[in-house]
Chains A and B, each alone.
Chain A
């Protein structure tokens, strides 16, 4: 099972929309896919029309046997499941810190998902905590959606430094520009001139009202607008990621 984490220290950079749309495309290609909505806000759960509630809350999720398996809900799409958010996730870090071998706990709790899924997408909360550290430490791909602003790039530098010390060997760190508004000069300038050392993906996700409509349609963009720039961008992003991460097609 490949683990894709969608992470940024800042909120509102488009993490959830990326997680939901990429997971949908992954399932569409035939990969058995699950999304873990780790953000207490529960936006990914909302998009999939699943109640943001987990039996036993965060404690059970971190302590319970096979709790990740037991908490799953099927989405409206074949091959795509969700581990919903729960409001108690806001206390997840405190719960984790009280447990023995807390640094290995996240990996242990994810283990039962192996064999059931090809891909796990984790929609991470915007913070640096033991929980996010645990997730990022087991991820094969860390996707960092970044808005093209000076501040965002500076934050990225800090994230990179932090990640370098915690990443799994061979993991791919893939920052990419999200919510790009090419009408804004600053966005254009930053996208076109970003330092190559950040190793940004070539694909950018545009700022688009159709992405905002996900909140009304409660579905991935490709479902209600199969042909459009936003859907095309997510498709291109998924293709680029699978290519960079060396993932073959599930049917051969």
Chain B
């Protein structure tokens, strides 16, 4: 079995694969015939495959199409499948291990073409005196990268990859030394990386997790500007995919960036200029409102399959009309959302926001926040929100109405945004610990509220479906059973709340928060 090996750039007189043989005296190199490949490489918008060190290539010009999942830059297929066409989602693949593996990496995200590469490949085996293969070489040459058919193709350097054979590491080492002595330059980049660079793409240039780097020496104005520019960029990055409905995560990430923007503005509203508050707050609120129903429909559609798992198979089948109903509803909501996003109001909102943040507007640079240092203001805010959660949470008893839990959930969300956005101001491990503790509490509160919202929505959907036309009694009954099971789960989640809150509010976390935030005020 092969392990990862070194990679070199073949240059000048060594560029032809055949000349390698003369490089290493005493080792016989046996070459296999050259094969030519042409493939489209796919990844999600947020580079989920690249991040996992995987690549997915779809052969071009062959029928059926071979789709293979490989360790990035390696030849060996980890899994493969054949299909009639290039898959748009992992779920488009035929049932099997490749589909399962891709689903676990890409989830609901679309698999988008990132680059096309055509290349020639020659494999060589280095044999010892027993004619046993002790090392393999893979030469990639005549490689070209391009974005799409018809584009200009950029030539990539020829590469040779040394693939060790288990138990023959000494021989591999000798071969590598010989290549280096011959002047070959060792490189870390694999063919995919080089191809992406050639077409002007940078791997990992988008992530749904904000990585905002702030400095403790910044003023509040500088820090907020950095944060909000970053969030505005995230909205812009997701805009085309959301409007073209490429996959549901574009809208989700867009809405998260909008919510984070609103949360930051509202958390620091006391110091933010009144003009800014007046000009933009209502706009962002409106944006949340017009994008909400489509996202809700997406969530319900995703949940239907989960719902099915909650019910016996034959009852679950009865939910197909519900799925269809939700799909139609989503289509309608999406059209309405698109209409709002094409208005002048929307376009001006974002354009003015960006020019205000960047200081490129007609009024020149605008003061966003009072000129105070960032650390005390942010720390005081986080401490206040944290202490508020503990106080509010402790006041909740089994008899408290659900609205109190709902309010608590909103405050938790604000704390989460604050911790995530301003994490670079504090020690990384302490923030990571707090976020993980907070997540547990948020999940519990989410269950309590979402299960109730879902139950109420189900009742609403049943009503709407009946208004649209006749619905099979089995479907109505299945939805009824589902509502009952959601209520049961909600009840169980509510039962867990006190224990989970106690854990969140325990002394250890309180001490960390005190040191990080209270003492920095």
Q: Would A73 and B167 count as touching, CB distance under 8 A?
A: yes
Q: Once the chains bind, are B1 and A32 in contact (CB under 8 Å)?
A: yes
A250 and B97 contacting across the interface, CB-CB below 8 Å: yes
Binary per-residue interface labels of chain B (262-279) against chain A in the complex, 1 for a CB within 8 Å, 0 otherwise: 000000000000000000
Given known A74-B2, A78-B1, A78-B2, contact A252–B166 (CB-CB < 8 A): no
Q: Does B493 contact A (CB under 8 A)?
A: no
A66 contacts chain B at the CB level, 8 A cutoff: no
- Which listed residue (B94, B98, B168) contacts A74, Cβ 8 A? B168
CB distance from B202 to the nearest CB of A (A): 32
Query: Contact: B167 with A252, CB < 8 Å?
Result: no
CA distance A72 to B80 in the complex (A): 27
Which partner residue on chain A sits nearest B132 by CB separation?
A49
Q: Which of A31-74 contact B (CB under 8 A)?
A: 32, 48-51, 72-74
B341 located at the interface, meaning its Cβ lies under 8 Å from any Cβ of chain A in the complex: no
Cβ contact within 8 Å between B94 and A81: no
A25 within 8 A of B: no
Collect the chain A residues with CB atoms within 8 Å of residue B99's CB.
Answer: 252
User: Is residue B387 contacting chain A, with contact meaning CB distance below 8 A?
Assistant: no
Select the residue from A74, A81, A116, A251 with max chain B CB neighbours within 10 A. Answer: A74
Residues in A with CB closer than 8 Å to B97 are 250-252
- B96 in the interface (beta carbon within 8 A): yes
The closest CB in chain A to the CB of B167 belongs to A73
- In the complex the two chains form, is A252's CB within 8 Å of B96's CB? yes
Taking the complex as formed, is B79 at the interface, i.e. its CB lies under 8 A from any CB of chain A?
Answer: yes
B136 (CB) vs chain A CBs: closest residue = A78
Q: Which of B95, B100, B132 contacts A76 (CB 8 A)?
A: B132
Q: Are B130 and A80 neighbours in the complex by a CB distance under 8 Å?
A: no
List residues of chain B with CB within 8 A of the CB of A32: 1
Interfacial chain B residues near A173, Cβ < 8 Å: none
B interface residues, how many (CB within 8 angstroms): 24
Contacts of A50 in B (CB 8 A): 132, 167
Please, which residues of chain B bring their CB within 8 A of the CB of A116? Answer: 1
Cβ–Cβ contact A251 & B80, under 8 A = yes
A interface, size bucket: 20 to 34
The secondary-structure label for the interface of chain A is: loop
Q: Does A131 contact B (CB under 8 A)?
A: no
Question: Does any Cβ of B come within 8 Å of A156's Cβ?
Answer: no
In the bound assembly, the distance between CA atoms of A50 and B167 in angstroms comes to 10
Interface residues of B in 35-52 (CB under 8 A from A): none
Is B168's CB under 8 angstroms from A251's CB? no
Pairwise interchain contact B167-A72, C-beta atoms closer than 8 A = yes
For the complex formed, measure the closest distance between the CB of B31 and the CB atoms of chain A, giving whole angstroms. Answer: 15
A-chain residues with CB within 8 Å of residue B80 when the two chains form the complex: 251
A251 touches B81 (CB 8 A): yes
Please report which residues of chain A, range 113-156, place their CB below 8 angstroms from some CB of chain B when the two chains form the complex: 116
Contact with A along B83-95 (1 / 0, CB 8 A): 0000000000011
B96 near A81 with CB under 8 A, answer no
Q: Mask for A174-197, Cβ within 8 A of B = 1, else 0?
A: 000000000000000000000000
The one of B2, B96, B125, B166 in contact with A73, judged by C-beta atoms closer than 8 angstroms, is B166
Please give, as numbers and ranges, the residues of chain B lying within 8 Å of A76 by CB-CB distance. 125, 132-133
Considering only CB atoms, which chain A residue lies closest to B69 in the complex? A251
Q: For chain B residues 153-176, which have a beta carbon within 8 Å of chain A? A: 164-168
Smallest CB gap from B80: residue in A: A251
Q: Closest A-chain residue to B125, C-beta based?
A: A76
Interface residue? A237 (CB, 8 A): no
Interface centre among A30, A32, A72 (most CB of B within 10 A): A30
Please state if B81 and A74 are interface contacts (CB–CB under 8 Å): no
A79 at the interface (CB under 8 A from B): yes
Interface membership of B76, Cβ < 8 A? yes
Closest chain A CB from B493 CB (angstroms): 36
Chain A residues near B132 (CB, 8 Å)? Answer: 48-50, 76
Residues on the A chain within 8 Å of B79, using CB: 30, 250-252
Contacts of A78 in B (CB 8 A): 1-2, 76
B1 touches A81 (CB 8 A): yes
- Sample of 11 more A-B contacts, CB < 8 Å, known A50-B167, A51-B130: A30-B77, A30-B79, A72-B167, A73-B165, A73-B167, A74-B2, A74-B164, A78-B1, A81-B166, A218-B131, A252-B79
Report, nearest first, the 5 A-B pairs whose CB atoms are least far apart.
A252-B96, A73-B167, A74-B165, A74-B166, A49-B132
